[in-house]
Amino acid sequence: MRILLIGSGGREHALAWKLAQSESCTKLYCAPGNVGISAQAECVPISVDAIDDLVAFAKDNAIDLVVVGPETPLVDGLADKLNAENINVFGPSAKAAQLEGSKGFMKDLCAKYDIPTAKYGRFKDVELAIYFIEEADMPIVVKTDGLAAGKGVIICETKEQAIEAARDMLSGSSFGSAGHEVVIEEFLEGEEVSFFALSDGKTILPLTSAQDHKRVGEGDTGLNTGGMGAYSPAHFMTPALEQQIIEKTIEPTIAAMAAEGCAFTGVLFAGLMVKDGVVTLLEHNIRFGDPECQTLMMRMQGDLAQILLAAAQGRLDEMKDQISWSDDSAMCVVMAAKGYPGSYEKNTVISGIDQANEIDGAYVFHAGTTEGENSAVLSVGGRVLGVTATGSTIAEAQIRAYKSVDCLDWAEGFCRRDIGWRAL
């Protein structure tokens, strides 16, 4: 199988690492990739938004399967264009990608099909939004309808804050067109967990759980980021809770999407809140999480290429016993450039990656890296490396991940030192 992987982050490096181990994968390309990914794949300089160029590359290079990492090209119709050319693609159509691309779409679907989620309103008109906020209990959550790279969610303690957030989003000043509409919803308490499941539109293949740390600071404080670390499985997951997540959120969503004429193919990533053993859906994403994916790939056993191809071709029912999960835990510690998620320096030199890879059970996935002179690894992004390790317990995975982090020499980088604290 000749595979084209789309993306350049730590999630895509983890996917490349696992795909390269698949017996059925004979050639792996990644567009655009990064320095780390080039150990497993041939990187081609096509950006993730150059949809027509990606389709042309897949056609010209006899690609058997395209695996799409990030959400944006899916929301923009990459899978539709590949399908139109009869190229197998792992990832949903633009219509199905609305599950992540429009929070209002996702909330209306939940309301229509009785999927438990926070009470909400959708607004384009600022006066109506203000009226809703005035009548609501605090705290409350104000969200952009469209994609905002994890930044379009504001938890507001007071009505004044909520009104300001809604005004700011709807005026278009901070979030552009993503904020042309807002979702305002009830604040939910509890512990968050992520759950992943594959679907080919009909069949569901549940994967496993993970938890991430979104805040930049230790103790889960400070600004929101794309994710500073993650571990899998979630420490409080039980078979009964997993069953509840599947029955209350995953199965009805897949059935609802099919009933709405936009069957979902790809990976469904449910962001959930759990309180007193009861699950509520916060959001759906239509892709693997980053850095959750790094921990999933380290625990997964099976031929990922075959499984993703089967999902793309509507044959997921054949794969039910082809995938299993190591009893080990995995943890990913993100190394970011100092200043992230604000402004940060680029093109700083990182060394020690080979030594970090020698720690038992550890592997360094690259995110924002590029190659400098004399094969030096340079940082070019905010989140730069995902130092990931397995262990027989979360505690062991944590020790190994930080041992690996300590092999790195990168004065301009930092990481949180408390990834996994809830589980320990």
The footprint of ligand AMP (CB under 6 A) covers 118, 141, 150, 153, 155, 185-188, 192, 214, 271, 282-283
CB of 250 to ligand AMP, least distance (A): 16
Q: Which does 227 bind (CB under 5 to 8 A by kind): ligand GLY, ligand AMP, none?
A: ligand GLY
Give dist(CA 345, CA 350) in Å, integer.
Answer: 13
Confirm or reject binding of residue 382 to ligand GLY (CB under 6 A): no
Q: Is there binding between residue 211 and ligand GLY (CB under 6 A)?
A: no
Q: How far is the CB of 286 from ligand GLY (least distance, A)?
A: 11
Q: In the bound complex, what is the minimum distance in angstroms from residue 7's beta carbon to ligand GLY?
A: 12
Closest residue by Cα to residue 194 from 151, 237, 143, 140: 237
Residue placing its CB nearer to ligand AMP in the complex, 44 or 148:
148
**192 contacts which partner out of ligand GLY, ligand AMP, none, CB within 5 to 8 A by kind?**
ligand AMP
Supply the minimum distance, in Å, between the C-beta of residue 365 and ligand GLY: 14
User: Residue 290: which of ligand AMP, ligand GLY, none does it interact with, CB under 5 to 8 A by kind?
Assistant: ligand GLY
Show the 3-state SS of the chain: CEEEEEECCHHHHHHHHHHHCCCCCCEEEEEECCCCHHHCCEECCCCCCCHHHHHHHHHHCCCCEEEECCCHHHHCCHHHHHHHCCCCEECCCCCCCHHHHCHHHHHHHHHHCCCCECCEEEECCHHHHHHHHHHCCCCEEEEECCCCCCCCEEEECCHHHHHHHHHHHHHCCCCHHHHCCEEEEECCCCEEEEEEEEEECCCEEEEEEEEEEEEEECCCEEEEEEEEEEEECCCCCCHHHHHHHHHHHHHHHHHHHHHCCCCCEEEEEEEEEEECCEEEEEEEECCCCCCHHHHHHHHEECCHHHHHHHHHCCCHHHHCCCCEECCCEEEEEEEEECCCCCCCCCCCEEECHHHHHCCCCEEEEECCEEECHHHCEEECCCEEEEEEEEECCHHHHHHHHHHHHCCCECCCEECCCCCCHHHC
Residue placing its CB nearer to ligand AMP in the complex, 4 or 153:
153
Pick from 92, 201, 233, 289 the residue near ligand GLY by CB under 6 A. 289
Pick the closer one to ligand GLY by CB: 81 or 416.
416
Please enumerate in sequence order all residues whose Cβ is within 8 A of that of 247, keeping only pairs 6 or more positions apart, or say none.
none
227 touching ligand GLY, by CB under 6 A:
yes
Which 333-352 residues touch ligand GLY, going by CB under 6 A? none
The least CB distance from residue 139 to ligand AMP, in Å, is 8
Report how far residue 230's alpha carbon sits from residue 67's, in angstroms, rounded to the nearest whole number: 22
**Of these partners, ligand GLY, ligand AMP, none, which one is at the site of residue 289 (CB under 5 to 8 Å by kind)?**
ligand GLY
Q: Which of 145, 200, 212, 328 binds ligand GLY (CB under 6 A)?
A: 212
Q: Which of 285, 369, 390, 398 binds ligand GLY (CB under 6 A)?
A: 285
187 binds, among ligand AMP, ligand GLY, none (CB under 5 to 8 A by kind): ligand AMP
Q: How far is the CB of 270 from ligand AMP (least distance, A)?
A: 10
Between 58 and 336, whose beta carbon lies closer to ligand GLY?
Answer: 336
Query: Of 145, 290, 303, 328, which one interacts with ligand GLY (CB under 6 A)?
Result: 290
Spell out the residues 6+ positions from residue 349 whose beta carbon is closer than 8 angstroms to its own: 372, 376, 377, 378, 410
Smallest gap from Cβ 214 to ligand GLY, in A, equals 7
Site string for ligand GLY, 65-104 (x = CB under 6 A): ----------------------------------------
Provide, rounded to whole angstroms, the least separation between the CB of residue 289 and ligand GLY: 4
The reply to whether 7 sits near ligand GLY by the rule CB under 6 A is: no
Q: Which residues bind ligand GLY (CB under 6 A)?
A: 150, 212, 226-227, 285, 289-290, 292
